A and B are shown apart, each in its own frame.
Chain A
Amino acid sequence: MTQESRSRPEAASDAELAQRIYDTGGAVAEEAELCRRLTPRVRAFGARHLGDRDSAFDLAQHVMMLTITKLRRREIDEPRRITSFALGAARMTAQNMRRSELRWRELQEGPSAIDDLAIAPPEPLDTERLGECLAGLAERERSVVVLTFYDMQTSRQVGAQLGVSEGNVRVIRSRALSRLRECMQGEEGR
């Protein structure tokens, strides 16, 4: 660890941040930085496994509360492997949430709840702009992304429904998402 990274949390690795929280029993700046980094990763995992932004955020809050609590209490065997711990916690919690439709309201009542940890909610999506971007897609591209993300169909299922090959659906879907991403990022750059 360099002298600079020891003094600046944002320059430290995930493992270094976790080790400092573990060693000190709680370090505000390091905890905030670790949350800033890990929350999006847990959210991305949650979006895939739980299917919506709200549940993904609930999951991220719970996992971060648990992670920081365990570090402060030195209940993690290998603090430097903190990303593995967070992924394991995300997997287990997501499984429980799917099984019992457990939500943040219930999770908050658990032993991991701590008051001084701020988890930033995700930025609201500009749906008006997204609607404009979707309108700019080719007709078939729009159909494919609607079947994929609204009707939760795989490329094989979409292909069967629309009479095109699975490979072709993947190409269309990839092109559509690239165009949407560029369109939305163009909006950010305005």
Chain B
Amino acid sequence: MSSGKCADSIELSKLIEYVSRELGTDEEAAFEEHFFTCPDCTARLTMLADLGDGIAALAGSGSLFASVTQTVLDRATASGLKLRSYRLEPDESVACTIAPDDDANVIRLVADFAGVDQVDLDVFSVEGEQATPTEHLEDLAVDQDSNELVLVYPGAAIRALPQCTFRLELTGRGEGQQRRLGTYTLNHSPWPER
């Protein structure tokens, strides 16, 4: 019949494994035999596939803030995305901007992440001596290959900023302790009008 709940109660995790290309060949073929007769599983699969497609589209346009890895940046660059990248050591400052045709800014924060299970980031807007907290981000993903925290900021959001300074403070938690991993300063200037 044309509708109804799945009689085999296929779990969401199985659907995700299918969409994520993680089922073995035989298991995948058997699952396809099933969902071709199951409107319920098809509807749930379609929803997941659409979400995946949307995530890829947003990430691929540089309009999604996320901590990512070098492989994501490589894919973005290969597909034609223009990324303006800044790499900062602890206690380092950098003058940064974004060009009209840049799709995103990439901020790479170097630190000693050894023994750290969780990395948190506090962002402060700095004016003179005053630092105002603007954002607190918890449990950011660190790229294990580069040993950096790689942050992608959407170009449109950065382009809207006036001349300003941000201080980024990284904190690591692990082994029952908390320690400061580094402080980084971004001195942003809008792209000069010609």
The chain A residues found within 8 Å of chain B, CB to CB, are 10-14, 33, 37-38, 40-41, 43-45, 47-48, 52-53, 56, 83-84, 86-87, 122, 125, 127, 130-131, 134-135, 138-140, 142-155, 160-163, 170, 173-174, 177-178, 180-181, 184
Find out whether the CB atom of B2 lies under 8 angstroms from the CB atom of A10. yes
Interface contact B55-A150, CB-CB below 8 Å: yes
Residues from chain B with a CB closer than 8 A to the CB of A174 are 12-13, 16
Bitwise, B22-54 to A at CB < 8 A (1) or not (0) is 100000000011011101001101111111111
The residue in B33, B36, B65, B138 that gathers the most chain A C-beta atoms within 10 A of its C-beta is: B36
Per CB-CB distance, the 9 closest pairs between chain A and chain B, nearest first, are: A47-B49, A143-B141, A150-B59, A149-B52, A44-B45, A149-B55, A130-B54, A163-B144, A83-B36
- Whether A146 touches B35, Cβ cut-off 8 Å, given contacts A139-B141, A154-B22, A161-B143, is no
User: Contacts A127-B54, A147-B69: A41 and B13 contacting too (C-beta < 8 A)?
Assistant: no
- The answer to whether A162 and B22 touch across the interface, beta carbons within 8 angstroms, is no
A-B contacts counted at CB < 8 A amount to 163
> Are A122 and B52 touching (Cβ within 8 A)?
no
CB distance from A88 to the nearest CB of B (A): 10
Complex-state Cα separation, A130 to B52, whole angstroms: 10
Q: List the B side residues contacting A38 at CB < 8 Å.
A: 36
Contact of B47 with A87 in the complex, beta carbons under 8 Å: no
Question: B59 to chain A: which residues have CB within 8 Å?
Answer: 146, 149-150
A47-B46, A142-B64, A161-B69 given; 16 more Cβ-contact pairs under 8 Å = A11-B1, A14-B2, A40-B39, A47-B45, A83-B37, A127-B58, A142-B65, A144-B141, A149-B55, A150-B59, A150-B60, A150-B72, A150-B75, A152-B21, A162-B69, A181-B51
Q: B68 and A125: CB pair below 8 A?
A: no
- B56 lies within 8 A of chain A by Cβ: yes
B22 partner, pick from A12, A150, A155, beta carbons under 8 A: A155
B22 adjacent to A125 (CB under 8 Å):
no
**Given contact pairs A44-B46, A160-B144, A161-B145, A139 touches B138 in the complex (Cβ within 8 A):** yes
- Whether the pair A145, B55 counts as a contact (CB closer than 8 A) is yes
A149 to B47, CA, bound (A): 14
CA distance A141 to B2 in the complex (A): 35
What DSSP secondary structure best describes chain A's contact surface? helix
Residues in B with CB closer than 8 Å to A170 are 13, 16-17
- The answer to whether B55 and A130 touch across the interface, beta carbons within 8 angstroms, is yes
List the B side residues contacting A146 at CB < 8 Å: 55, 59, 64, 66, 68, 72
State whether the Cβ of B139 lies closer than 8 Å to any Cβ in chain A.
yes
Which chain B residue has the least Cβ–Cβ distance from A43?
Answer: B46
CB distance from A120 to the nearest CB of B (A): 13
Chain B residues near A127 (CB, 8 Å)? 54, 57-58
Q: Which residues of B, 138-194, contact A by the 8 Å Cβ criterion?
A: 138-145
Is the CB–CB distance between B36 and A87 below 8 Å?
Answer: yes
Q: Is B124 an interface residue (CB 8 A)?
A: no
Are B36 and A130 in contact, CB atoms less than 8 angstroms apart?
no
Report the nearest A residue to B33, measured CB to CB. A87
Between-chain CB contacts (< 8 Å), 5 pairs: A40-B42, A87-B32, A135-B65, A142-B65, A162-B144
- Pick the contact of B71: A161, A180, A181 (CB < 8 A): A161
A173 to B138 CA separation, bound complex (whole angstroms):
17
Taking CB atoms, residues of chain A closer than 8 Å to B72 are 146-147, 150-151
Q: Does B137 belong to the interface (CB within 8 Å)?
A: yes
